[in-house]
Structure 1
């Protein structure tokens, strides 16, 4: 069975985007960017909601061709294009860059994908991840907390019917006061 991880950058008050979708508060050090790049390199399958897909696919397919692209951005762009992806949306017509589109029930498809053989899966996008959280499908949470309060926006967490007990498996600090915490779901 595949492991499903929900991981994002978030503000200290729990938001993955400020009002209006603003991500300007989440400036990443080279070390943190490399950590995310290495994570993409080891992801067997990435699951994206529409909003995150639109943000990623508008930049990374050609980021390595942009003037002044750093070696780290060039590496990430290649890894991102190579990584298999599933996009969940009922409003997008087609997807590219090693992705396939699912327009049906996300929980049913994620459950099926978890039962398949293959490498670990990452899920991104607040709405998609919330559905997986409520269904009890998330095995691990990777929380990269930035020292900023944004006061509103897109919330990382979702309302749950029951408690989810977690075990802390890793903590790590990055430059600029960014802290990574990784928790596994207790089953």
Structure 2
């Protein structure tokens, strides 16, 4: 069975983007960017919500062909293009690129994708992740926490009907005092 990981940059007060979808606070250091790139290389399948898909697919398909691109960004672009992707949306009717579109029941499709293979799936986009979180489908939470309070925006965590006990798996500090914390879902006792 595949494991489902929810990994994003997050502010110290728990937001993946600030008011007005501001991401200016989350620009990663070179070391953190390489860590994210290595995650992409190790991801067997990426699940995207519509908004994150639109942001990523507007840049990364041709990022390695832009003037002045760094080798690190070119490598990320190649890795991102090679990674299999599934996009969940109720408003899109077609996708550019090689991603597969799902317009139906996200919970059922994510559960099916988890059951059908081995390896790691990453889920991106706070709304899609909230759906998977409420359904109990996320196996690991990865927070790259920046030392900034943004005061509002889109939260990393959604409201839940029950507690979810987690186990700390790893912590690592990056330049700029960003702390990556990995937590695994602990089965009910």
- Distance in 2, matches of 1:20 and 1:66, equals 27
Give the TM-score normalised by the residue count of structure 2: 0.97
Task: Provide structure 2 residue ranges, at least 5 long, that are not aligned to the other structure.
Answer: none
- Distance in 1, matches of 2:177 and 2:98, equals 35
**What is the root-mean-square deviation in Å for CA atoms of aligned residues?**
0.7
The answer as to 2:129 corresponding to 1:129 is yes
Secondary structure of residue in 1 paired with 2:26: coil
Secondary structure of residue in 1 paired with 2:24: coil
Q: Kindly indicate whether the alpha-carbon contact (under 8 Å) linking 1:6 and 1:123 is maintained by their aligned counterparts in 2.
A: yes
Q: Kindly indicate whether the alpha-carbon contact (under 8 Å) linking 1:82 and 1:98 is maintained by their aligned counterparts in 2.
A: no
- Distance in 2, matches of 1:145 and 1:117, equals 30
Give the TM-score normalised by the residue count of structure 1: 0.98
Equivalent in the alignment of 2:10: 10
Equivalent in the alignment of 1:26: 26
CA displacement at 1:117 relative to structure 2: 1.2
- Distance in 1, matches of 2:31 and 2:98, equals 27
CA displacement at 1:123 relative to structure 2: 0.3
Instruction: Report matched runs for 1:66-105 at 5 Å.
Output: 66-105=66-105
Task: Provide structure 1 residue ranges, at least 5 long, that are not aligned to the other structure.
Answer: none
Consecutive aligned runs of 4 or more in structure 1 exceeding 3 Å deviation: none
Deviations 1:118-166 (A, max 9, x none): 3210001011000000000000000000011110111100000110000
Secondary structure of residue in 2 paired with 1:25: helix
